Structure 1
Amino acid sequence: MRFWSLICCLFFISESGGLLAQSNEKTSAWHGFERIDFRLNDVPARYIKPRKPLPGNPWVWRAHFPDWHVEMDSILLERGFHIAYINTNDLYGHPKAMMIWDDFYQHLVTQKGFAPKVALEGVSRGGLYVYGWAKRNPARVSCIYAEAPVCDFKSWPGGKGESKGDPKSWQQLLDVYGFSEQQALAFDDNPIDHLEGLAAYKIPVLHVISLKDKIVPPDENTFPLIEKYQKLGGPATVYAMSRGPQTLEGHHFPIEHADWWADFIQQHSVPVQKPLESKSYVQVRGGLPNFYRTITEQKKATVAFLGGSITFNPGWRDKVSQYLREKFPQTEFTFIKAGIPSLGSLPHSFRVEQDVLSKGKVDLLFLEAAVNDRTNATDSLTQIRALEGIVRHARKTNPAVDVVLMEFADPDKFGDFRQGKKPVELLNHERVAAHYGLPSINLAREVYDRIEAGEFSWEYDFKDLHPSPFGQELYFQTMKYLLNASFQTASLSTQKPVKTSAVMAPLVRSSFEKGRYVPIQEAKLGDGWKLVENWKPADGVSTRPGFVDRPMLEATTPGAAFSLDFTGTAVGLAIISGPDAGVVEYRIDKGPYQKVDLHTQWSHSLHLPWYKLFTGNLPDKKHVLQLRIAATKNPKSKGTACRIVYFLAN
């Protein structure tokens, strides 16, 4: 119990945001070089200094067994590398160790001037650490060198295959992770798992093994990892050590050609590259003080992700969720996944109540709309009304909610950047964020700048506005920077909890802060309309989740009409626009009829969720909407259909 109390203590000190490196560094000799020992957040750490450091201070980070097989390290020290180590022994790559590693990396890079990218060196169980940290931080890794690495703890120490394992170490691992035997066997974050991001970053990997290793058999460790990694496009090499005595059932073997392995590390670490920094694209502003206090004091928090397909798809969202769980393991998190493909700020402002706020108190809201706002040609005023409306609506539900606005990348915005212009969607996100003191992340500009700097390409690395694994990692790393910067600011603050205001002056009149869905059952239907209780397409064309197998108002013949009584400043429709989408005519309070074409450029291949706002600037009182199907249609449409999922009102 004393050991686990110490580990928890160390973790929570680190979690509070400060890097506590004791000043009493101790200097000693190590194989003819100068060794510096110190404690970081009370964890023993050290680094070995070269006599003459290379420009940029390249370094190697050893995991476990820092004094085993030091021939390669000695060569690299002679060449000008630093060698570093922090003692997270007996944590078996657990997220607790990964958080300590994060702090160690930050200390050496920001305080000691070490290179932004590090070569990782894992021996035996050290493989659990180097792959665990590399998968969480691929942009910070230059290469991975591993000797007889454990790549699946079911093999060692579990002994669930060819390896006889180590029962004592297996029980210790179960205790560290809090696993039952069954949970450990089902665990899917071993080094052999989820290598997509690491492979997308093309991190070179070299495994030095013995084919006779019965403790960590290569058939259960190195070979399956390397096969998966190479199939994902990752560069990897395996060298089998077969000369010299092989002891401990083949797990210990002499290292020949240590200079070759030093060459491997030097080749991928020098010259030192200094990528652009994520902080240049983050505005912390008021930070996340209330969210931080909730997770550290109440230890129960809800995080919601509201956005389009980039939020709907797995990737950065899941990585943010995992990171929060790992950084604050004592907190019970609930995550609301409210991403729906094709939807931007306008739809979000009317669906936020149903899809997010109705599910309970939300403590942190991630909001993105910049890609679909441009694609959907949402006008600037509507963007402001929608984004501001979401913030105000959320704060009326919970005045202490923290909100992060995100601006994702797409090639359309790059043309604006090349002309020295800032896309209007980004300006509007930043305008709302600045007005309410919210953190924001300009990922669109970051991707553009990194491409222009030659760090990667859109075509072969990022690939699409729906990011590849490479792009998902990039997004996550910048979000992680924002979270940590906000947490550090909050942890150092002595102020009382921040009280946000839901009633501060709005940016524009009639923001959609009371946006809501009006049930389709409230319409007064005329001839030609019917309520389909469980709509699905009869033409075999694709649909979107949440907009199929559900009630829907449907009419397909010209002249079909209905009326709707509503209260508020805005009214519109949430529809399905498919291959037969028609044209509607509407009027409000018996004004003149106006036409709206429901067909879109995507309707031929998709029953697309599409939101049509008829007006957003009405007097805030009772109104009547009248709508009918027009006789005319878009030449590209196959029919005159209108299918309504919800009415919109503010």
Structure 2
Amino acid sequence: MIRFCLFLFLGLGICTTLTAQSDSLAYARYFRVRQGLPHFFSRLKAGQPVRIAYLGGSITEAGGGWRDQSVDWFRQQYPKATVSQIAAGIGGTGSDLGVFRLQSQVLDQHPDLVFVEFAVNDNGKKPEQIHRAMEGIVRKIRKNNSHTDICFVYTLTGDMAPILREGRLPVSAASMEQIAEHYGIPTVHLGLRVVALAGEGKLIFKGKKEDYPDKIVFSPDNVHPYAETGHKFYTEALADAMKVLAQKDAGKSRRLPKPYRKDNWENARMIPATELVREGNWQVLTPETDPVAKQLRSRFPVVLKASEPGAALVIRYKGAVCGLYDVIGPGCGQYTVTAEGSPDTLIPRFDGFATYYRSHYFFFPESSGKGTRTLRLQVAAQGPDKTAILSTRGAKMDDPARFRENACYAGYLLVVGKLVK
């Protein structure tokens, strides 16, 4: 009954009293059909092979979660079709990295449908940042293959519950709705049933399941759902929306409209760091030769490393946006970044969570995009104060030897534009 009522209330339009379509996009709906997913469901119904890509953050990356569960659901509903998945979720990343890794990690594998999940990790960013990256994702997919269907899905954190309970979307999802409306992309909010259950006192967002035997516990940390509760609700919400979307006719031929923003990131490129000019001693690490590279092999097939102060990467590019996809961890130091016309800046590659190695990324201050810009990334002589940084989270060095090195890593250059030799 809860799911049925929520479907009626949210799926059929809580915002029907609003007169302006631009205003209504800020209000939460269970799903919006728009142009649907006609090509994907046409193949499913015909029993043809389909590939579903899941582009998102840690909620999508989680094994046994809504990604795996939804693939199982499609297989059960369409047993004659062969359903496979492209797992492209990376924890701690938003649409601003997703648009760069889209080509190699998703499009090169020829998906029939791409689910895009970044509402949690993008929350707190400015709407224009979200617009540029999400529109870049859409335009890249459509230009690669106009028959590839797209669906935005929104997950949540416990902190988002109050605004959702009021029937409004957080800034991230509301910004994504504007892009979805412009391109006719269906959207599904996976967490509205969760909010409803929490409002009824039947669910709590954070805790250990054994501590609340009479409640549904959504997650251990307010963010990452338990597979059998939070992720299950996400999958059920998606399944309900898919049943409706499956009935949507193909309609007119799909055309790519004019951009929502002219400065969108459809020209985002991810270039191997090995193509950059190197000064000093840089090691080329592979999963076969280095333990850090092995740990991050799903992120980088090859990674550069320099630990001697003064070793540098020189980047010459044309474009307004440039960044680096790299590594943060116990043995990482910091970059000194030099750009013409700007003072040198330090970019630490160590933070309060750096008790283990993980992929990370950062962007340089944007330029006008006119002419060629040169950046020099040099391994700084002075390392960050690791003890002080860890103490901000109450963490300590378990083994000082693991933290002694102050190296810098580089996996890919991120550029909206092109690299200049």
TM-score > 0.5 by shorter chain: yes
Helix, strand or coil: the match of 1:319? Answer: helix
Q: Distance in 1 between matches of 2:290 and 2:95?
A: 26
From the superposition, tell whether residues 275 and 635 of structure 1 become closer, same or farther in structure 2 (CA, over 3 Å): farther
Q: For 1:520-531, what aligned pairs fall within 5 Å after superposition?
A: 520-531=273-284
| Counterpart among 301, 324, 334 of residue 573 in structure 1 | 324
1:544, CA displacement in angstroms? 5.1
In structure 1, how many angstroms separate the alpha carbons of the residues matched to 2:34 and 2:229? 28
Counterparts of 1:409 and 1:333, CA distance in 2: 27
Secondary structure at 2:180 match in 1: helix
2:132 is matched with 385
**Aligned twin of 2:255:** 501
> What is the Cα deviation at residue 499 of structure 1?
2.8
TM-score for the superposition, normalised by structure 2: 0.78
Q: CA 1:306 to 1:356, structure 2 compared with 1: closer, same or farther past 3 Å?
A: same
Q: CA 1:450–1:594 in structure 2 vs 1: closer, same or farther (change >3 Å)?
A: farther
SS at match of 1:488: coil
SS of equivalent residue, structure 2 residue 203: coil
- Residue 462 (structure 1) aligned with residue 228 (structure 2): no
| Alignment deviations for residues 160-193 of structure 1 (CA, whole Å, 9 cap, x no partner) | xxxxxxxxxxxxxxxxxxxxxxxxxxxxxxxxxx
Equivalent positions of 1:355-366 (< 5 A) are 355-360=105-110, 362-366=111-115
Asked which structure has the greater CA Rg, the reply is 1
Quote how far apart the aligned CAs of 1:470 are: 1.0
Structure 2 segments unaligned to the other structure (5+ residues): 12-28, 210-216, 390-402, 417-421
- CA distance change for structure 1 residues 419 and 292 in 2, over 3 Å: closer, same or farther? closer
Distance in 2 (CA, whole Å) between partners of 1:536 and 1:416 is 46
- The code of the aligned residue for 2:285 comes to V
**1:567/1:640 CA distance change after superposition, 3 Å:** same
Q: Determine the C-alpha separation between the residues in 2 that align with 1:449 and 1:596.
A: 46
Alignment equivalent of 1:559, drawn from 303, 310, 327: 310
CA contact (8 A) 1:354 1:516 kept: no
Matches for 1:581-600 after TM superposition, within 5 Å = 581-588=332-339, 590-599=340-349
Q: Does 1:290 align with 2:43?
A: no
Equivalent residue for 1:478?
A: 237
- SS of structure 1 residue aligned to 2:232: helix
Give SS of 1:546's match: coil
Amino acid paired to 2:129: T
Residue 642 of structure 1 deviates from its aligned partner by 1.5
In structure 2, what residue type is equivalent to 1:364? L
| Structure with greater contact order relative to length (CA < 8 Å, sep ≥ 6) | 2
Give 1:501 shift.
2.9
Report what 2:17 is aligned to. Answer: none
Q: Shift in Å at residue 594 of structure 1?
A: 4.3
Structure 1 gap ranges (5+) = 1-115, 118-138, 140-273
Structure 2 Cα separation of the partners of residues 348 and 597 of structure 1:
22
CA shift at 1:500, angstroms?
2.6
Aligned to 1:605, what secondary structure does the other structure show? Answer: coil
Partner of residue 546, structure 1: 298
User: 1:530 & 1:545 partners in 2: Cα distance?
Assistant: 16
Whether the 8 Å contact between 1:384 and 1:432 is mirrored in structure 2 is yes
Q: Distance in 2 between matches of 1:483 and 1:422?
A: 21
Aligned length: 367
Partner amino acid, structure 1, of 2:245: S
1:409 to 150, 153, 156: 156
**Residue 434 (str. 1) matches residue 146 (str. 2):** no
| Cα 1:418/1:297, change in 2 over 3 Å | closer
**Alignment match, 1:144:** none
CA-CA distance at 1:327 after TM superposition? 2.1
Query: Equivalent residues in 2 for 1:196-595 (5 A)?
Result: 276-277=6-7, 279=11, 280-297=29-46, 299-313=48-62, 314-360=64-110, 362-374=111-123, 378-414=125-161, 416-417=163-164, 422-459=169-206, 460=209, 461-464=217-220, 465-468=223-226, 469-490=228-249, 495=251, 498-502=252-256, 504-534=257-287, 536-537=290-291, 543=295, 546-547=298-299, 550-588=301-339, 590-595=340-345
Instruction: State the Cα deviation string for residues 274-317 of structure 1 (Å, max 9, x = none).
Output: 76337352122221122222333582322111112211112211
Root mean square deviation, CA, Å: 2.9
Identical positions, percent: 28
3-state SS in 2 of match to 1:458: strand
